[in-house]
Chains A and B, each alone.
Chain A
Amino acid sequence: MTTLADKVWDRHVIERGDADLLYIDMHLLHELTSPQAFEGLRLAGRPVRRPDLAVATADHNVPTGPDPLSLLDGLAARQLRIQQENCARHGIELHPLGSPGQGVVHVIGPELGLTQPGMTIVCGDSHTATLGAFGAVAFGIGTSQVEHVLATQTLRMPRPRTMAVTLRGTPRPGTSAKDLALAVIARIGTAGGTGALIEYRGDAIAALPMEGRMTVCNMAIESGARSGMIAPDDTTFGYLEGRERSPRGRLWERALDDWRTLRTDDAADFDREAVIDAAAIGPQASWGTNPGQTTGIDGTVPDPASFADPAERAAAERALAYMDIAPGTALRDIAVSTVFLGSCTNGRLTDLRAAAEVLRGRRVAPSVRALAVPGSTRVKRQAEEEGLDEVFRAAGFEWRSSGCSMCVGMNGDVVEPGAHSASTSNRNFESRQGPGARTHLVSPESAAASAVLGHLASAADLED
């Protein structure tokens, strides 16, 4: 009796050991964490073993304003040039800045159909966990490991423990996948998944479209897990069918036969389990400086003294000092001057649609700067075909080009020092969105509502 994670893992073990030697089916690369790996290969005189099992793009350092190429600073331009040289030298597919396939690496992989059930997928980026939504074992790695995969198409990794997070019941209307993800982290903690690969299951997960499943798995890393995973089903197959790199014809049928076996056996045991009542989850917002410091939008900022654990208490005290928020403050009383819609967590077409639906016929508060940043160039084009760009512009949002943008604060898109942002990204760490930035993590719907009202809010607040 085996879990989904162990089934996929076992298929890829070349040699068992304290750390298994694991075959890697797909290696995604971005510009930030790969140059030193290629340089390591060059110094050692080693070739790339399987350049055909790697795909690269540029996302972290790219500006998202009009004509991004002209906005690149010198260091970023050098990094992109080196990426182009490395990919050309080794024969690796690259979707560079300015090309139609460019985008956030975790967004373009699924778009192309590069992320399929049963695969092992790695990238030098912790949010590779996103791709586990397809029933793949997908995890982030360091640059030395990027070099190891380039040279050997394998990794030496200890087998992760197994963990089930079951979301039972039907979430309340207005609750998005992001709210589920945040509520799970608030419940199990920022280290609740350490050492484990989390399988998300239950009817609330099964009801999510692929984009929502990606949002949930994306945030697995914020609970400390190696990755997240969801068993593939008809929703998964429906998403993949017809994608550029999806199998066709008889191969598609063979793939389907195989993919349908990728589920946790009924009698399989997990090392850890958490069962969460999804029906009790409404819109969430973070109040602190780690994603576990989150509560429902109807709630108040907790008093650090209320935490029994001394480390949690100290962390809450530091967080509130950094955020400049008093204990007991209602979340809705926290004013925001920046709103960021985008990132690998919430930069897909369905996220833009959900926010646009809230914004239709409304205006962003005069005190707010709001950015809509599509997760990929393809998402941008699709959104424009649907007229979403017009909805955002009419509401007072800036309609930007695709990239990591304000999630990572290193490409010119930053929150002003001391300012509070409502952000659909994944990390509210100190200064993550720019030096001194105070980030509140929310869903796309809540980001849109917060932009209109100028304070943390959920979409339902606009209907009162």
Chain B
Amino acid sequence: MDPVTRVTGRAVPLDRSDVDTDQIIPARWMKRVERTGYAGGLFEKWRRDPGFVLNDPAYAGASILVSGPNFGCGSSREHAPWALRDYGFRAVVAPSFADIFRGNLPNSGLVPVQAAPDVVAALLAAVTADPATEITVDVAGRLVRCAAIGEAPFALDESAHHRLVHGLDEIDLTLARSDAIAAHERTRPPWMPTGRP
């Protein structure tokens, strides 16, 4: 995975709470077996409304999505981050994220930017007022910058931060601990069930 130390770009305001992953990408797209090609499904049903913000040409080419609390709730589908990434987003800013979605974002190279509610509100206001507003997400420094707010910190857990900034493959990191895994594996109680291929 390529390192992600900074995301700079214009942003789309999606001022709603509880944006669920069924809205981000409807289930019918999950019959596909590829990891890419989901841009067309992003917010598929909301995009049928000509007034939906993604249909506003002023926001074309934006790389940051700003939204409300509990973003990404519902289904665990990683197709949701894939759709955001394929569409061109590199970071999502929200006051809070649903747990599974928050964990999925960095695995697709996207940055979950959890900022204070007043910071997100100010960013929403700024990008709504002027679609040309540029936002910088300094991943390494865990800071979000914008003329409207100056600079504000955001939360990003240590392990996601480490992997994003260094572009590390988590499986490689874990495979390096195979001995410790094997040692633990030997303590799995004998009554626990197994599959039978």
Chain A positions within 8 Å of B, measured between CB atoms, are 12, 14-15, 17-19, 21, 23, 25-26, 32-33, 35-36, 39-40, 44, 46, 49-55, 60-61, 73, 75-76, 78-79, 82, 87, 91-94, 112-114, 116, 118-119, 124-126, 139-145, 147-148, 151-154, 156-158, 190-191, 194-195, 221, 224-226, 245-247, 251-252, 254-255, 258, 290, 311-312, 314-315, 318, 408-410, 427, 429-432, 435
Contact = CB atoms under 8 A, between A and B. Distances in A.
B127 to A, nearest CB: 18
Interface of B: 15-18, 20, 22-23, 26-28, 30-35, 45, 68-70, 73-79, 81, 96, 98-100, 103-104, 107-108, 157-159, 170-171, 173-175, 177-178, 180-181, 184-185, 188-197
A287 to B, nearest CB: 15
Q: Is the interface of B mostly helix, strand, loop or mixed?
A: loop
Nearest to B68: A311
B31 A33 contact: no
A170 to B, nearest CB: 32
A123 to B, nearest CB: 9
Nearest to B26: A431
A438 to B, nearest CB: 13
B191 A247 contact: yes
Given A126-B76, A144-B107, A290 B18 contact: yes
Q: Which 7 residue pairs of A and B lie closest in terms of their CB atoms, listed nearest first? A: A144-B107, A18-B158, A247-B191, A245-B193, A93-B195, A142-B104, A142-B78
Given A51-B195, A60-B27, A410-B27, A154 B174 contact: yes
B17 A156 contact: no
20 contacts: A15-B177, A21-B181, A23-B185, A79-B33, A93-B196, A94-B197, A112-B193, A114-B195, A126-B76, A140-B100, A144-B104, A191-B98, A224-B70, A226-B100, A251-B191, A254-B191, A312-B17, A410-B26, A410-B31, A430-B45
B99 A19 contact: no
A54 B29 CA distance: 25
A76 B30 CA distance: 9
Contacts, number: 219
Contacts of B26: 410, 431
B107 A158 contact: no
Contact of A190 (B70, B78, B100, B177): B70
B195 A246 contact: no
A82 B34 CA distance: 12
Contacts of A79: 31, 33
A124 B23 contact: no
Contact of A246 (B32, B77, B193): B193
